Amino acid sequence: MAARSLDAYLNSADGLARLSAHAGRLVKLQRVFEQIAPSYLAASSRVANFKSGKVVIHADSGAVAAKLRQMLPSLVDEFSLKGAEVTEILVKVQPSHAAAQHKGRGNPSPSVGVSAKGDLQRLADELPEDSPLKEALERLVKHSR
């Protein structure tokens, strides 16, 4: 039996083709949402569904949901300007798996000794400005106890 790509398999059967098309629409709507929503809100929410012009957005917290609800008229307009046929947006509080785990741990600050903090900062200072490692080290130094 010859190996087939996942796309070919999903598009082969009528039901799977519809599922694939729906998933593709959700991905496109998510990309538009990430462009039009403030980054701090887009990072804590996601497009969950779309049906008959209605977009459902899941927010990680009540505060994020409240802010998104305040922005609904402008978000609907922005979706339309980007070519998405959105007539309504429904926002629900539904913490993501990562947000639920993060909340459950209490998120203790990492413990780094004073001399180690100095060493980490010196290392970060020597790295190029656009280095992801530099950013990570600076965050670690800043948020450690």
Average pLDDT, the chain: 83
* Helix ranges (DSSP H) in the chain: 6-12, 14-36, 39-42, 62-70, 72-81, 97-105, 114-126, 132-143
Asked whether 54 and 88 are in contact (CB, 8 A), the reply is yes
Asked, for residue 105, whether it belongs to a domain, the answer is: no
Amino acid identity for residue 73 in this structure: P
When pLDDT is cut at 50, 70 and 90, the band that residue 106 belongs to is: low
- Residue 90: which domain range? 7-97
Alpha carbons 106 and 145: distance in angstroms, whole number = 15
Total domain count, the chain = 2
Residues 78 and 129 placed together within one structural domain of the fold? no
141 versus 49: the higher-pLDDT residue is 49
Residues 87 and 127 placed together within one structural domain of the fold? no
The reply to whether the predicted model has a pTM over 0.75 is no
How do residues 26-60 score in pLDDT, each as one tens digit? Answer: 999 999 999 999 999 999 999 999 999 999 999 99
Identify the H or E element spanning 91.
strand 88-93
pLDDT mean over 71-81? 94
Residues 64 and 119 placed together within one structural domain of the fold? no
